[in-house]
Amino acid sequence: MSFFRHVGAVAWKDLRVELRSREIVYTMAFFAALLVVVFSFAFVQDPKLSASATPGVVWCAVAFAGTIGLGRAFDREREGDTMRALLLTPASRLAVFLGKAASITLLIVSVELIVAPMVAVLFNVPLFDHPLPLLILLVLGALGFSLVGTAFAAMLLRVRSRDVLLPVVLYPILVPMFIAGTKGTGALLGAAPDLTAAWYWVQFLGIFDAAFLVVSMWTFESLVIE
Amino acid sequence: MKKVLYPLVAAASASLLVWTIVEIFYGTPLQYTAEAPTQSLFFNQKIFYWHVPHAMLLFALVFICGIASAGYLKNRKGSWDDVALAGGELAVVYGAIVLGTGMIWGRAAWGVWWQWDMRLTTSLLLWMVMLGYVLVRRFGGAGSERLAAGLAVFGMIDVPLIYFSVKIWNTVHPKAEVVQTLDPAMKPAFWLSFLAIAMLLGLITLLRVVVASGERSVRELRERAIDGGLLDE
Amino acid sequence: MSKPILIVSVLLLVTAYARAADGPSAPAYVSPDRAHCEEELGKDRGWHEDLELQLYDNVHRTESETFTRNNKHVILAYAAIWVLTAGFVVFVWMRQSRLKAEIARLSADVANATKDAST
């Protein structure tokens, strides 16, 4: 049980730091909102186009805002040189990893909760007609993004050109997640929402998250040395 | 024994390649479907004999890179890393070949350079993962071998997920389907070309692994010399 | 070394093109007037030859366009494969020569260092 206590402690540490300054969540949210506005200039004129582009807009905003949030979260660790301290604690590496992934998941979910209503309003789409599958899709997507993202960002901590390399290594791996997210969200929109398809994509995201949780658990010990 | 091996394999693969070309252009019938004559490929189906083995070997290379990276992460022996590096670089080259010939064949058969066909999309995503691997090795600086190895392992686990997600994503899209049932008269030529290309791939991979391990040895030697105070840098 | 390969590949392509020139036969269209037309065509050789002449250019042109296009693409695809493979071999070759230079430099450095140490 101490494992989960450690996970909670690491996550709560990150959230406490974040709540004091709110730097990451404000900048992430503003960046995501800006993206939605820019996309709306491209898409909102044509109503047919805007309805089908909506899922893509939501998940693009999640992807880009998530990347900068991830980068910022680990920059903070590097600036304070706290990563070494974290690894020296009696908590296992895995607990540190899961704690950080949990805090980043919460950050991304909070950004999603701002982006989704914005998109629903600006693009005039009934995004919240089926709130439960949408919420689960968003949460599982955030979880998958943060699991893979935390693993790579931790690996990239001391590497040169890490800011460019993080998206370069992250996005190709995450493509199935984006496909599942956009298709799932798209299935909830439209004249005849396809709920079976939406739940299928929810399951797919669940499998994706489980697979990468297991892989991260296997490889994290050997990947993060310092 | 090793000195004889490389020229022998090179000569064998060269003659197999020549035999393959003769077989492809002489020994196989033109692809033609009586039920859909406008969809017959005729001559440009000959691209198939080289395109598909390269695609199969691309998948094999991704798995080789992934497994070698997992082995490197587990026991930290440099030889695993060399194999992973060779596999990754060759996966980039073979991915470029598969995508390039796929696009040219698509242009000939479908009239468009690109289509979100399941196979092309999956190959594109795998190619980008391997491209990321090579970029990390090149620009990551010191300690990037571990990161790249982690990326290769994640990529390998991702392969079935990419496959299924793209397959289901694609079923809604109408597309011009290339007739897929292989005429049995074409099978021998196909497997012959697969053998020839696999031999060539094996040869190039061996060469690349040898060069990579040589570079690593030199790097380690230099570091040991600096550590021992023999050289200063 | 490349010239014989070029000649051989051109010969192979020409042979393949010749073999490919026999196109498929079109499915028969069942027309009510067909039997009557064929009877008339058989009787009137002049009309038969006129029709042949009229269709000849069209058929020849479409077939040659198709095959020229196909040829171009097959050649392009094979060329792409060879260029990329050869390019990678050249890349490995260059790394090999750089490795040799590095080894030479390292051994020179070590030789210098041991000479300095022993003197």
Asked if the model's pLDDT at residue B174 lies above 70, the reply is no
Decide if C20 and B43 are in contact by the 8 Å CB cutoff. Answer: yes
Q: What is the mean pLDDT of residues B185-214?
A: 88
What does the alpha-carbon distance between residue B157 and residue B161 come to, in Å, rounded to a whole number?
Answer: 8
| Alpha helices (H) along C21-44 | 34-43
Higher per-residue confidence, C31 vs A31: A31
Q: What is the pLDDT of residue A207?
A: 93
A187 vs B: CB within 8 A: no
A210 vs B: CB within 8 A: no
Residue B54's domain spans which residues? Answer: 41-170+184-227
C85 to chain B: which residues are within 8 Å by CB? 93, 97, 200, 204
From B108's Cα to the closest Cα of chain C, the distance in A is 6
C12 to chain B: which residues are within 8 Å by CB? 21-22, 25-26
Decide if A179 and B169 are in contact by the 8 Å CB cutoff. Answer: yes
Q: Closest residue of C to B29, CA-based?
A: C20
Among the residue ranges A201-210, B28-37, B100-109, C55-64, the one predicted with the least confidence is B28-37
Q: What is the pLDDT of residue C1?
A: 46
Q: Closest residue of B to C76, CA-based?
A: B104
Residue closest to B150 by CA, chosen among A155, A207, A104:
A155
Tell me if B84 sits within 8 A of B68, measured CB to CB. Answer: yes
Residue B183 is classified by DSSP as P
Decide if A165 and B135 are in contact by the 8 Å CB cutoff. Answer: yes
Asked if the model's pLDDT at residue B180 lies above 70, the reply is no
Q: Which of B70, B150, B165 sits opposite A176 (nearest CB)?
A: B165
Decide if B218 and C102 are in contact by the 8 Å CB cutoff. Answer: yes
Residue B42 is classified by DSSP as B
Residue closest to B195 by CA, chosen among B44, B15, B3:
B15
| Residue located via tokens 């393959």 | B20
- Quickly count: other Cβ atoms within 10 Å of residue B77's Cβ: 10
B89 to chain C: which residues are within 8 Å by CB? 88
Residue type, A113: L
Best residue of B21, B104, B207 to probe chain C, by most C CBs closer than 10 Å: B104
Q: What is the mean pLDDT of residues C33-49?
A: 86
Q: How many residues does chain C have?
A: 119
Decide if B100 and C77 are in contact by the 8 Å CB cutoff. Answer: yes
Q: How many beta-carbon pairs below 8 A join chains A and B?
A: 88
Decide if B139 and A156 are in contact by the 8 Å CB cutoff. Answer: no
A173 vs B: CB within 8 A: yes
A152 vs B: CB within 8 A: yes
Q: What is the tally of helices (H) and strands (E) in chain A?
A: 8, 0
B112 vs C: CB within 8 A: no
What does the alpha-carbon distance between residue B149 and residue B76 come to, in Å, rounded to a whole number?
Answer: 11
Tell me if A105 sits within 8 A of A174, measured CB to CB. Answer: no
Q: How many beta-carbon pairs below 8 A join chains B and C?
A: 110
Name the E strands within C23-101.
none
Please name the helix (run of DSSP H) or strand (run of DSSP E) that holds residue B152, with its range, or none: helix B144-170
B46 to chain C: which residues are within 8 Å by CB? 16, 74
- Assigned domain for B24 exists: no
Best residue of B48, B57, B92, B101 to probe chain C, by most C CBs closer than 10 Å: B101
Q: How many residues does chain B have?
A: 233
From B138's Cα to the closest Cα of chain A, the distance in A is 11
B165 vs A: CB within 8 A: yes
C103 to chain B: which residues are within 8 Å by CB? 214, 218
- Assigned domain for B131 exists: yes
C-alpha dist (Å) from residue B56 to B23, B40, B53? 20, 24, 5
Asked if the model's pLDDT at residue B123 lies above 50, the reply is yes
Asked if the model's pLDDT at residue B65 lies above 70, the reply is yes
Decide if B162 and A211 are in contact by the 8 Å CB cutoff. Answer: no
Subunits with at least 3 CB pairs below 8 A relative to chain B?
A: A, C
Calculate the CA dihedral of residues B167, B172, B174, B176 and round it to 10 degrees. Answer: 10
Q: What is the mean pLDDT of residues B221-229?
A: 84
B72 to chain A: which residues are within 8 Å by CB? none
Q: What is the mean pLDDT of residues C7-36?
A: 66
Decide if C106 and B225 are in contact by the 8 Å CB cutoff. Answer: yes
What does the alpha-carbon distance between residue A70 and residue B174 come to, in Å, rounded to a whole number?
Answer: 38
Q: What angle do CA A15, A19, A21 make, to 5 degrees?
A: 125
pTM of the model: 0.78
Among the residue ranges A164-168, B171-175, B200-204, the one predicted with the least confidence is B171-175
B153 to chain A: which residues are within 8 Å by CB? 215, 219
Decide if C96 and B107 are in contact by the 8 Å CB cutoff. Answer: no
Averages of pLDDT over each 10 residues, chain A, 226 residues: 86 89 86 89 75 88 92 85 81 87 93 91 83 92 94 83 86 92 87 83 93 86 68
Q: Closest residue of A to B141, CA-based?
A: A160
C96 to chain B: which residues are within 8 Å by CB? 211, 214
What confidence tier does C24 reach under pLDDT thresholds 50, 70, 90? Answer: low
Residue A190 is classified by DSSP as S
Is the C-alpha dihedral spanning C34, C40, C41, C46 positive or negative?
A: negative
Residue B42 bridge partners (DSSP): B31
pLDDT (tens digit per residue) in B24-56: 887 777 766 656 555 566 677 788 888 888 888
Asked if the model's pLDDT at residue B64 lies above 90, the reply is yes
